[in-house]
A and B are shown apart, each in its own frame.
Chain A
Amino acid sequence: MSSILETKGLTKSFGAITAAANINVTINEKEIVGVIGSNGAGKTTFINMVTGYLKPTGGSILFRGRDITGFSPRQVTRTGICRSFQVAQLFPELTTLENMLVAHAMLSKKRLGMQAPMKSQTNIDTAMAALSGYEIESYADAPVATLPQGIRKLLDIAMAMASGPDLLLLDEPTSGVAIEEKFGLMDTVMEAVKRSGAASLFVEHDMEIVSRYATRVIAFYDGHIIADGPTEEALNNPEVREYIVGSELHLQKPEDDQNAEN
């Protein structure tokens, strides 16, 4: 597997506070990486640096061998990295379909037209197909402000994926989503990501989700990476268990309960 994203000694400090220190990460093609860590560990800072929202204080970011350190978010988007947000970033007064149409129009290689109608049948068909890829086509005509959280999250990801990126960064895709909807949402997203052939990296607090979808886990603690490896190995790392997961990994709970009953 060839690597697509590589960060070398990435550092970000806000005054005396170091939010991320010496982050060295390599993401390979088609890999699904879970990022875990307690609040303030540097997960979102890492995503923000890779996508150009924050300028790193030190270190470099290479995407397909090209140095993209210090790129603006729109330059990063154009190179093939996209992201979703902890709080879905949408256009609330427009409908779901219009949101998708705007995403397609903006991400297309062509300049934004001033006379060609955005709502042409071809564009609508493309946008509807994209929406149905995330199973939200039935909400097409609903204004985004009226949508439930889970649907907003899916739309947010669908819009990010409209560029057909090589790497998708998901910042807490299931935060704010009802527990019973979490797996359904992740199933839909992961299926769409696999179809597109993109690699993905997702920040998540729910260890059940991490262990179910990630093939590899990177654990952040206090701005540093304390573990990076195959999911099971990383989750069982003593430091990860102590600082992030908690000494009793709740994945093992059902077994424990059974043992207790016996």
Chain B
Amino acid sequence: MLKTDNTSRNLCIAFVLLLLVGLILPNWLAFLTTIALAKAMVVVGLVMLMRAGLVSFGQGLYYCLGGYTVGIAGQHLGITDAVGILFVSAFIAGCLAALLGLLLCRYREIFFAMLTLAFSMILYGVLVKTSELGSTDGFNVAKVTLLGWQPSPGQLSLVVYSLACLVAFLTAFFMHRYYQSGMGFAGEAVRENEIRVEYLGVSPQRVVFIKYVLAAMLAAVGGSITAMIAGHVDPEMAYWTTSGEFVFVALLGGTGHVVAAFIGAFLFEVIRTIAFDLAPYTWQMILGTTLLLVIFFLPKGLWSLLKAKKVGGNNV
């Protein structure tokens, strides 16, 4: 009855491979992969909400919050330790999400989506008007350190890349287990039938609240890593198009498996880079077409391709 699940083992292998490959990757590709991993963290949280039937169009709020936490900690407070900052930004995002979550957990469908979008746009509006934080231009982020060690500019991208790999691995590992847990299935139960959940003695609101806070913390970590590798933050991170991009990636990858978000995020970055190269003025057309094709032919995302192959393999 129980199918053997090799995901944990495969994730460990993928983690080691990513670390090794990092040593030989050209700079541009290492940068692209780090950004993809960082965005995938946000998408994993978003997918968790989508599995519960909720689409957030405002994960940019926490993505931006994470980025600005790194910026402010380095520039204004003199805190540059990468690991410490990740914890701090997750904590701050968690606190804000706990506050907003009290309201949001009562809403579903389009109302949930619009409210999350509204909150992210409030942050955008505030940042744009705050000249101390560079208004629309944002500001540069101080170079991070690792447990007191200051990597040279040449080493920095490798350090952030490795950190991103580690954080992404831990996220994928624990989120995969989370999807299989009682709380993970509670999300699907809420999506399918809230009345039944209520009569099983569990509050659907509480389930949504917990997921919203977890997703926010993941998004903040993703934003922090982006700030560390890009060396710059600006209010665009909270803009609705950034949040929309996460939804795009989630649809591209699919919600079937935790790894789907990572595959989706990586492909998204690759497609965008190529599209930008091919058509500097109309690259959005290529992205839009890709999304349309995915929705038409793979409504459950790229992951459904892998799943179909697996099922086919078992039958042979």
Partner-B contacts on A (CB < 8 A): 51, 72-74, 77-78, 82-83, 85, 89-94, 98, 101-103, 105-107, 112-119, 121, 124, 159-160, 162-163
Contact A102 B201 (CB under 8 A): no
Contact B202 A106 (CB under 8 A): yes
Partner of A116, one of B182, B189, B199, B200: B182
With a cutoff of 8 Å between Cβ atoms, the chain A residues found around residue B192 in the complex are 90-94
For B188, B192, B200, the residue with the greatest tally of chain A CB atoms inside 10 Å of its CB is: B200
A76 to B247, CA, bound (A): 38
Contact B193 A89 (CB under 8 A): yes
Contact B201 A107 (CB under 8 A): yes
Partner of B180, one of A90, A91, A102, A119: A119
Partner of B186, one of A77, A78, A82, A106: A106
Q: Which residue of A lies closest to B177 (CB)?
A: A115
B16 interface residue (CB < 8 Å to A)? no
Partner of A74, one of B177, B186, B188, B198: B198
Contact B183 A112 (CB under 8 A): yes
A115 to B180, CA, bound (A): 8
Known contacts A112-B182, A118-B181; is-contact A103 B174 (Cβ 8 Å): no
> How many pairs of residues, A versus B, come closer than 8 Å at their CB atoms?
97
The dominant DSSP class at the B interface is helix
Q: How far is the CB of A115 from chain B (nearest CB, A)?
A: 5
With a cutoff of 8 Å between Cβ atoms, the chain A residues found around residue B185 in the complex are 94, 98, 101-102, 105, 118
27 contacts between A and B (CB under 8 A): A73-B198, A74-B201, A77-B199, A77-B201, A78-B201, A90-B192, A91-B189, A91-B193, A92-B193, A93-B188, A94-B188, A98-B185, A101-B185, A102-B189, A103-B200, A105-B185, A106-B202, A107-B201, A112-B183, A112-B202, A114-B183, A115-B174, A115-B178, A116-B181, A116-B182, A121-B1, A159-B196
Contact A119 B2 (CB under 8 A): yes
Q: Which residue of A lies closest to B204 (CB)?
A: A74
Q: How far is the CB of A30 from chain B (nearest CB, A)?
A: 23
Contact B203 A74 (CB under 8 A): yes
Q: How far is the CB of B21 from chain A (nearest CB, A)?
A: 29
B195 interface residue (CB < 8 Å to A)? yes
A114 to B207, CA, bound (A): 11
Contact A74 B202 (CB under 8 A): yes
Q: Sorted from nearest, which 3 A-B pairs have the closest CB atoms? A: A105-B182, A91-B192, A106-B200
Contact B200 A159 (CB under 8 A): yes
Contact A160 B186 (CB under 8 A): no
A82 to B2, CA, bound (A): 31
Q: Which residue of B lies closest to A141 (CB)?
A: B1
B197 interface residue (CB < 8 Å to A)? yes
Q: Which residue of B lies closest to A121 (CB)?
A: B2
Q: How far is the CB of B45 from chain A (nearest CB, A)?
A: 14
With a cutoff of 8 Å between Cβ atoms, the chain B residues found around residue A91 in the complex are 188-189, 192-193, 196
Known contacts A91-B193, A106-B186; is-contact A163 B201 (Cβ 8 Å): yes
Partner of B181, one of A77, A90, A117: A117
Q: How far is the CB of A181 from chain B (nearest CB, A)?
A: 23
Contact A74 B199 (CB under 8 A): yes
B184 interface residue (CB < 8 Å to A)? yes
A73 to B188, CA, bound (A): 20
A114 to B178, CA, bound (A): 5
With a cutoff of 8 Å between Cβ atoms, the chain B residues found around residue A85 in the complex are 195
With a cutoff of 8 Å between Cβ atoms, the chain B residues found around residue A112 in the complex are 181-183, 186, 202, 207
With a cutoff of 8 Å between Cβ atoms, the chain A residues found around residue B199 in the complex are 51, 73-74, 77, 82-83, 89, 160
Given contacts A85-B195, A118-B184, 9 further A-B contacts (CB under 8 A): A89-B199, A102-B185, A106-B182, A114-B182, A115-B174, A115-B177, A115-B178, A116-B181, A160-B199
Bitwise, B95-117 to A at CB < 8 A (1) or not (0) is 00000000000000000000000
Q: How far is the CB of B168 from chain A (nearest CB, A)?
A: 18
A116 to B202, CA, bound (A): 18
A113 to B192, CA, bound (A): 20
Q: How far is the CB of A249 from chain B (nearest CB, A)?
A: 35
Known contacts A102-B189, A107-B201; is-contact A89 B182 (Cβ 8 Å): no
Q: How far is the CB of B209 from chain A (nearest CB, A)?
A: 13
Contact B180 A107 (CB under 8 A): no
Contact B2 A124 (CB under 8 A): yes
A113 to B196, CA, bound (A): 19
Contact B177 A117 (CB under 8 A): yes
With a cutoff of 8 Å between Cβ atoms, the chain B residues found around residue A103 in the complex are 200
Partner of B182, one of A51, A77, A90, A118: A118
A118 to B185, CA, bound (A): 8
